[in-house]
Amino acid sequence: MILCIDSGNTRIKWGLRDGERWLSEGALLQAEIGELGERLKELPAPDRIMVANVAGAKAAAAINKAFSGWLRRLRFVQSAAEGGGVVNGYGEPASLGVDRWCALVGARQRVDTDCLVVGAGTATTIDALSADGHFLGGLILPGFDLMRQSLARHTAGLPLARGRHEAFPRCTDDAIFSGCLEAQVGAIGRAFARIAAHPGALCLLFGGAAPLLAQHLDLPFRQADTLVLDGLFHLAGDDPG
């Protein structure tokens, strides 16, 4: 069994999987990462622990502490030039965020068509993957919540909007909510237009804001909530350790 851990900027997610299916899944906030070991102590001992960490050295130290008895089984994954059926198109492959790398590998296991891999988290990432497994490049923009928070923090009179989407909003909360949402959906739509002519082109969507964005996308998509974990699991098979 493989324990996969996706340590993001806001949350840390995990899944325990055998060769067929996810046996257990869970999540907690990064602020609660000290509880990770306690949360997972009831799980069966995994053969390998695969980690994608983008939350920095403090989170890495907490993960090492949580698995102090299993350090030989623990691997912090790094982005590579090639792996899991994906060729990394970055000029410096190791500089690609490891969560994006794992999501691309996870996407490759699900589809064999041109696709967009969209992570709707603290940041929104929009990555293009060709039908033959080449990562073509991608976009990064502030996520939906981060956009709202930025307006509240850096302007004198705008609130942390808790409005709703309207085509032509007539109050400030709705105007902010709608503007931030349409910026997200618009960026995804523009990127998808670049691959839309390819047969079977598809968007794979995951992350905390995925359910919200999914309500407003006007293009072929699937929600794929475990995409980073799927990639970690597949990369475990490529790991000689």
Task: Quick: pLDDT tens for 92-148.
Answer: 999 999 999 999 999 999 999 999 999 999 999 999 999 999 999 999 999 999 999
3-state secondary structure of 134: strand
What's the pLDDT at 241? 53
Query: Average pLDDT of 57-65?
Result: 95
Residue pLDDT, tens place only, 165-223: 999 999 999 999 999 999 999 999 999 999 999 999 999 999 999 999 999 999 999 99
What's the pLDDT at 19? 81
User: β-pairing, 123-129 with 115-120?
Assistant: antiparallel
Is residue 233 pLDDT above 80, yes or no?
yes
* pTM attached to this predicted model: 0.94
Task: Provide the token pair at 211.
Answer: 């359910």
Residue type, 12: I
Nearest CA to 76 out of 108, 100, 50, 99 is that of: 50
What's the pLDDT at 17? 94
Q: Is the domain covering 2-76 a CATH 3.30.420.40 domain? A: yes
112-226, CATH topology level: Nucleotidyltransferase; domain 5 (3.30.420)
CATH 3.30.420.40 positions along the chain are 2-76, 112-226
Round the average pLDDT of the chain to a whole number and report it. 94
What's the pLDDT at 22? 93
Q: Return d(Cα 217, Cα 196) in angstroms, integer.
A: 14
Q: Return d(Cα 118, Cα 139) in angstroms, integer.
A: 9
Of 6, 18, 99, 174, which is the active-site residue?
99
Is 132 considered catalytic here?
A: no
More confident residue, 185 or 72: 185
DSSP E strand boundaries for the chain? 2-7, 11-17, 22-29, 48-53, 74-76, 82-83, 86-87, 115-120, 123-129, 135-142, 202-206, 221-223
Query: Average pLDDT of 80-98?
Result: 96
Q: Return d(Cα 214, Cα 205) in angstroms, integer.
A: 8
Give percent of the chain above pLDDT 90.
Answer: 85
3-state secondary structure of 22: strand
Q: Predicted confidence band at 41 (pLDDT cuts at 50, 70, 90)?
A: confident
Q: Return d(Cα 153, Cα 109) in angstroms, integer.
A: 40
